[in-house]
Structure 1
Amino acid sequence: MAKEDGQQSTIKIKLNGKERPFEEKTVVHDWQAASEETSAASSEEMLDEEEFEWILPNEEEPEIPEFKVNHHTESKKRPNIHRFGNGPFTLGIKRTIISFVLAITVGLLLGTFFLQIMKREDIQATTTAQNQVAAEDKPGEEKKTGAGYEATLPAMAVPVLQAGVYSSKENAESAAKELTNQNYATTILEMDGKYNVFIGVAGELQEVESWEKNVKESGLDVLAKELSLKESSIKLATKEQAEQLLKEVNYFKTVAGEAVKGEVGGDVNEKVSQNGLQLIDSYKDGVYQNKEAVNLQEQLQAALKGLENSSENKEEAIKVQQSLLNYITIYYQLSSHS
């Protein structure tokens, strides 16, 4: 507590209920004197520093060693599927491409190899066919035999239109009769124990195939094929007769080629008929003494006479075909007996 003026202030401290004496001593410092002493000391230190000579050691600055990374690992780049490398995906693509290229190469080589084989076979087949055609289409020959001459009739492949094959002659004749009533020419040839009915002749296989389509459209089942006529021979009196008969035989296919035009609606060449008739009329050595030669000439002449009007007259077209069918029947019988 504060006391009145003239009384000294005291502070009482109680510790554990007991008062303890406390004397407050105030220390008075002379700050001015202390400041002067400090300034004087600082001045002496500055003088001492100015008078002190600094001697530095002449040492070279040590070179700082280059910093090297001892444990450095490169960061792994992410695989790029668009860049060619050695990854599994890229290797798979490469293998696929290589396999594809090899497959194409092997295929081309094999294809070329088989193509060459096929070409060779085609060439051989063509050559064989050409040889056969040449053998079939070659003109006949005549040679002297004793008192007369023998004409060798060449083998021929005649395009025909077949209307059926029968095991008995009676059935074949019955079918032929029915076809005649339907305005078709007919003939029957016995081959290999069977009786074949034919209704037409053409010059080329393509022509008879066109005719086949027309006949099938009318409801009749027919087949276009080639009939093989073998080589045969006829004995004649003179060399001129033999030569004449062979000329007429060689002209047969030309007439057959025009005759089919009347069946398929084409225009017949009139010169074929005129030239054929002129060929027959030019023979001045009389008639053939051989019956088969006479029959062949008569059938060819009848076909030539009806050929000119066959494209416009259906009946004439049938007569022409009948004459040609009769011609190949005689020719076939000659080759069968040779």
Structure 2
Amino acid sequence: MKQEISILINGKEKRYSESESNKEQEKSSNEIAAAIEVLDRDNFMVLAEPLKKNEISFKRKKMNLFSKRRTGFYLPQKGKSLPKQILAAVMAAIVTGTVLGIMVLMVFSTDITEAGNLKPETAPVQKEKSPSGKKLVSLPPINLEFSALQAGVFSTKERAEDVVKSIEDKGFSAVIISAGDEKSAVIVGIANEKHQLESYGESYQKEMEKPLVKTLSFSFDDLKTPSNLDETYFTNGQILLQNVLTLSQMPGTKESGLDQTLSDFNKWKQYGQKQKKNWKDETANAASVFEKQLEGAFLALKDTKKGELNWAFQQKAMDSLQSYKQLLQTLK
């Protein structure tokens, strides 16, 4: 005899017969399902074999979000955690992101540099050339050293000019040279050696205050000129200036020595005329001024009277030194 069972589901009655429940049980006994089990195989989670419904069981494992152990599907080939397709996708994403990042940085860095001028482009250094288009050559350094009578050092050039005027009014010679720190020194005589200035110093202090004997040193390096042949002109200019100062201290041999030095001076001047064609205008003009001042020193020395100090010669000698310094300055 079949029995019926009444079951209320959500308040509604559902009738089942014994035969129906048996059929459903038999039907359900053949159903299968899959279960997830945790196996100790390289710390991966694997999919277990299909189980019958009445044998389904789950082994749960508590997972720590911050655990260092990896979880994932087991792969047959040991040592590979991701398939090639996934690896390719990851690498492509990394490369694409890197390229895009570099492009963005380049765009922003370019905009900032152009807007703020943080790193302006440096103009290429151009090699100096002479007016003829030839490359300039370097000359050896030229060092000058003279003894001098110094009347004083003044804080302003205007004050030094006033002193020079008062000195010249007394019949003495005087020039202004830089003393550094925007100061100006007044010089009243020069010579190759200190003892050569003794008579000039004694004569000067009779009318003015006693001058100081100083050493004047000037150094000129990094000099540039169109040709190596120019070196003869510039170095011999220094020698001629020193020779005329020496002759001023040699009354016994002045005539013969002066004639020979004047001959050397004329040859040097003619040589300079040929070389000036390749010089820049500033250098050529400064050379002409130096030649004129040096020639004036020779002529003043020739007019020296026996037993008298030639302050006119001293003026021309000091002016020659000043013009020679300006000439060398144009070669820098």
Q: Structure 1-normalised TM-score?
A: 0.49
Greater C-alpha radius of gyration: 1
Hey, which of these two has a bigger chunk of strand by percent? 2
Q: Give TM-score scaled by structure 2 length.
A: 0.49
